[in-house]
Structure 1
Amino acid sequence: MIATIDLPDLDATTALAARIASRLRAGDVVALTGTLGAGKTTLARAVIRALGHEGEVPSPSFAIIEPYDPPQVRLPVIHADFYRLKDPAELAEIGLDDYREGAALIAEWPDHAGGFAHEAGCLSIRMESDENGRRAIVEPGQDWLERGSWN
């Protein structure tokens, strides 16, 4: 069920974000991996906007966690950037489990947090960028399979 989606421009990224947002539920994780500059934050911001947020969507690289709550979005969502974590044990100090209660999580650098691919509600997206452009390699977890194809 792995799908490769070409992202030749911002409109394509916005369209993918709209598909993700329309299927996103509380408890889900959108795990974004890829090298620096591959488009993880761009996609995360587009998903948050597709959920209804109209204001600025800052990168959580310094704060690590940036929460968004209704009515500014259709469901509670946490945008997290785990790049600066040295050890997944730091998540307890941050209180990630409390933030995740009843919310969806958009996680950049999920491997720094121990990963989420083992969760049935995880949509894993590997962002790639090279001379041929950007693409998203989408691998839905079990709970995402019933929500439609990514091809």
Structure 2
Amino acid sequence: MEVLATAEEMRAFGVRLAERLRAGDLLVLSGPLGAGKTTLVQGIAEGLKVRGPITSPTFVIARVHPSLCGGPALVHVDAYRLGGDLEVDDLDLDASLEDSVTVVEWGEGLVEGLSDDRLELHISRDSDDDIRTVTIREVGPRWTHPTP
């Protein structure tokens, strides 16, 4: 669990998280509007050194950000407007999953079937201030039994 007081801390957390990521990784982000999901993705993108800018893909649903350094691309998805599994299937995310780091905002309950290995990050926000708490659930052998 991470407790983060500012947007800058959320971005820095994303940069640190990116150090652990590799092609094939799936991250599922959940939390209320304004929790900082896109800010976290901005940090992940900075850490992965991908082409930006990183903005919420709410209306385009998904954006691919190619690597600037020979690493994996970042596939940034906003599932907020998706109506269910069939619309997720239409995105064909599994086609790029092995070659990219895929981050899905609002993906809880929709994209877990894409991979047995994933990080599930829930961001909560105290209504009285800007402090966010990020809870990470590591799922699958990639995260529970990592190879050195």
The separation in 2 between residues aligned to 1:39 and 1:32, in whole angstroms, is 10
- Per-residue CA deviations over 1:90-123 (Å, capped at 9, x if unaligned) read 12322222232411110101136x2328844211
Higher normalized contact order (CA 8 Å, seq sep 6+, divided by chain length): 1
The separation in 1 between residues aligned to 2:55 and 2:28, in whole angstroms, is 18
The separation in 1 between residues aligned to 2:113 and 2:16, in whole angstroms, is 20
Are residue 99 (structure 1) and residue 115 (structure 2) matched? Answer: no
CA RMSD of aligned residues (A): 2.3
Are residue 69 (structure 1) and residue 66 (structure 2) matched? Answer: yes
Which residue among 111, 115, 118 is the counterpart of 1:115?
A: 111
Which TM-score applies when normalising by structure 2?
0.84
Secondary structure at the counterpart of residue 67 of structure 2: coil
Secondary structure at the counterpart of residue 11 of structure 1: helix
Give 4+ residue runs of structure 1 displaced > 4 Å after superposition.
none
The separation in 2 between residues aligned to 1:16 and 1:51, in whole angstroms, is 13
Q: Work out the percentage of aligned pairs sharing the same amino acid.
A: 29
Which runs of 5 or more residues in structure 1 are unaligned? none
The separation in 1 between residues aligned to 2:34 and 2:91, in whole angstroms, is 26
Question: Structure 2 vs 1, CA of residues 52 and 118 (structure 1 numbering), >3 Å: closer, same or farther?
Answer: closer
Question: Structure 2 vs 1, CA of residues 54 and 103 (structure 1 numbering), >3 Å: closer, same or farther?
Answer: closer
Greater shift in the superposed pair: 118-127 or 58-67: 118-127
